[in-house]
Amino acid sequence: MAAFYVGWIRNTGDGNFGPAVSEYVLWETPEAEAATGHNINITLLARVIEGEAGGEPFIGKVAVGAVILNRIRDARFPNTLSGVVFQPLAFESVANGRIWEPVSQESYRAARLALAGWDPTHNALYFWNPAKRVSRWIWTRTIFTQIGKHVFGR
Amino acid sequence: MSKRLILPAFVGLLVVAAVWAWGLEQSRARASLQNMLNAQYQNAFYSTLTRINNLDALLGKETVASGEQRAILLADIWQEAIQAQASLTQLPVRDVVLSQTAKFLAQVGDYAHSLMHDLARGKQISAQEQDKLREMRRQMATLNKELQEMEREINKNGAGYWEIADQFRSRPAARKPHTPAPGEETFNAINREIEQMPTLIYDGPFSDHLERQKPLALKGKKMISEAEARSRALKLIDGQDGVNYQARVTGSTLGRLPSYRVVIKGRGQGPDKSITVDISKHGGEPVWMLLARSVGSPKLNVDEGRARAKAYLAKIGKPNMVATYWERNDNTVTYNFAGKENGVIIYPDLIKVTVALDNGQVVGMEAAGYLMQHHERDIAQPRLSEAEARKQVAPALNPGNGRLAIIPTDGGGEVLTYEFRGRSDGAEYLVYINANDGNTEKILQLQDTKNGTLVM
């Protein structure tokens, strides 16, 4: 009963899975999950979703999760979840500590859906709020879609 | 000084002393934090530098190596490149500025890995591939030189080198326009050089051709109208009886699968029951559908849910799909379906269906993988028989009957294999043997959990 996507899972040798095009790069063994009492990948993804899109509609939350996962699969970004989330200057909620605030159930659900492969952004690598002050460079990206207050592009 | 003033003056002095002491402590704490942070950045930088220095040498050796030494060097290149990319992306430089260099390193590693694979199956490195390696070596040497120069600057300026502009101050008024840090300047210069790296196409996940991949299932399909998208979306939802549903196109999306975004609401139902559907502009195929309602306690089991998912696929015109893996999230189950043609399982044709176990309603579907990969396939008769392929599986696995399966390759291609399932030391495995040459294409480990089967 195998699950395949466009690519395969590959062990990079440091305990993380990647670089792969597979959407299952973030699975943990049941033993690991039992030891920590939660799935660390789902929890971390849910934290960023909450921090970056806490006030956004549900689809907008899934979309932010999808962007993070798209980055893991892209050569230009770190190829692990923690690498992408904690990349310096990448996410505002990491810089201001908001990702350590309590996480809603909705963000957990959005994280799971993004991990299961739902991508409302159509493979975007960036998202930003056009109403806020953002770097001029970001507007050179092709915008794929807008969801809630965020636009998503590559 | 009059006696009246002695006490206030004394108190004043105390306050000044206290503020001074507090300020001193604050600035000490700040300096200590700054040093700690800078140490992290220096570590990332020196690690990047060391790895790139190693890569420079390893790529050089690779161009003059022969025999089994080649594979060993390629393995080293792969490892060093992955680590170099990981260290590089920890530098406090904006991702956009690092992206060219990061991509170059990831591709070098990926390319070495794919050549390693070829060597392992007895294929030789071609003259063309040799040229690519030489070109990479040239680029790596340039990168190495630039970073060595950067090191000289850092050595001169010390910890303060990685000064980051205050991008993320909480008060917007305090934000300054972005001023590039010294590190950023150097990487901008590096980018200008690396951008001239020729396009790299090979069988790996970071190959350049994947960036421009077009949906195979929509090839030659006509553009549909908004009205058509609405009616297709309405046919796609698993609506409740007696509810009058209305569809509205709320926007359109670009990307690999340009789509209409359709939002469907039942008359008299709350916004929490609204359904979002993306319908591809070409061909009007569903890309994904989602109803994000809360799901009550389960009345169906996993098998009953699967039957619902299968019936749903038949209803939307995808009857020839077989259920493979499933995953449970709270009270919903997501089933993966693969294509099937002439008895051959086609894993790249992947569609996912989510069923709510409270009433069996289909609350989600996802077919982006299917649309990217599905096409008319001319499945040739395999050169090996099932029995011949079985001989290639490790005997310790004691494999059961094999079946034909098309599986995706790292570089977005496909290969016809026999899929064998077996058990060894208490763990279950799937082994894929190339149906034509008998090579092992992939080994997957299965983990059964209460929430589904994981594939590692």
CATH number for B409 = 3.10.450
Q: Are residues B367 and B320 part of one domain? A: yes
In-domain check, residue B380:
no
Q: Are residues B288 and B152 part of one domain? A: no
In-domain check, residue B358:
yes
Given a cut of 90, is residue B175 above it in pLDDT? no
Q: Are residues B346 and B230 part of one domain? A: yes
Q: Are residues B420 and B327 part of one domain? A: no
**Nearest-CB residue to B334 (from A116, A122, A133):** A116
Exposure b/e, B27-46, CB count within 10 A at least 16 = b: eeeeeeeeeeebeebbebbe
Question: Would an 8 Å CB–CB cutoff place A82 in contact with chain B?
Answer: no
Separation CA B287–CA B215 (nearest Å): 11
In-domain check, residue B276:
yes
**Nearest-CB residue to A87 (from B95, B373, B444):** B95
**Nearest-CB residue to A117 (from B99, B253, B366):** B366
Q: What is the pLDDT of residue B354?
A: 96
Q: Residue A153: which H helix or E strand, with range? A: strand A150-153
Q: Are residues B45 and B163 part of one domain? A: yes
- Compute the average pLDDT of residues B253-259: 95
Q: What is the pLDDT of residue A80?
A: 87
pLDDT per residue over B358-414, tens digit each? 999 999 999 999 999 999 999 999 999 999 999 999 999 999 899 999 998 878 889
Domains and CATH numbers, chain A: 30-121 (1.10.10.2520)
B180, two tokens: 């590039």
Q: Are residues B128 and B26 part of one domain? A: yes
Instruction: State which residues form the domain around B48.
Output: 12-212
CB atoms within 10 A of CB B192: 10
Q: Are residues B96 and B31 part of one domain? A: yes
Q: Are residues B332 and B285 part of one domain? A: yes
Given a cut of 90, is residue A8 above it in pLDDT? no
Q: Are residues B185 and B116 part of one domain? A: yes
In-domain check, residue B376:
no
Q: Which of B371, B397, B424 is the last residue of a domain?
A: B371
DSSP A127: E
- Compute the average pLDDT of residues A9-38: 43
Nearest CA in chain B to A17: B456
Percent of chain A past pLDDT 90, that is, above it, reads 59
Given a cut of 60, is residue B174 above it in pLDDT? no
Q: Are residues B278 and B243 part of one domain? A: yes
The domain tally of chain B equals 3
CB atoms within 10 A of CB B253: 24
pLDDT per residue over A82-110, tens digit each? 999 999 989 999 999 999 999 999 999 99
Q: Which of B181, B212, B243 is the last residue of a domain?
A: B212
Question: How far, in Å, are B396, B397, B401, B430, B442 from residue B424 at the CA level?
Answer: 6, 5, 16, 11, 16
Q: What is the pLDDT of residue B428?
A: 84
Select from B41, B89, B207 the residue whose CB has the most chain A CBs within 10 Å, as the one to mutate to test that interface: B89
Which residues 319-348 in chain B show a CB within 8 A of chain A?
A: 324-327, 329-330, 334, 336, 338, 347-348
Q: Are residues B401 and B320 part of one domain? A: no
In-domain check, residue B75:
yes
Which amino acid type is present at position B350? L
Q: Which of B371, B398, B413 is the last residue of a domain?
A: B371
Q: Are residues B447 and B307 part of one domain? A: no
Q: What is the pLDDT of residue B449?
A: 66
Asked if B340 and B320 touch (Cβ cutoff 8 Å), the reply is yes
Sign of the Cα pseudo-torsion (B240, B241, B246, B247, in order): positive
Lowest mean pLDDT among A49-58, A73-82, B53-62: A73-82
Given a cut of 90, is residue B160 above it in pLDDT? no
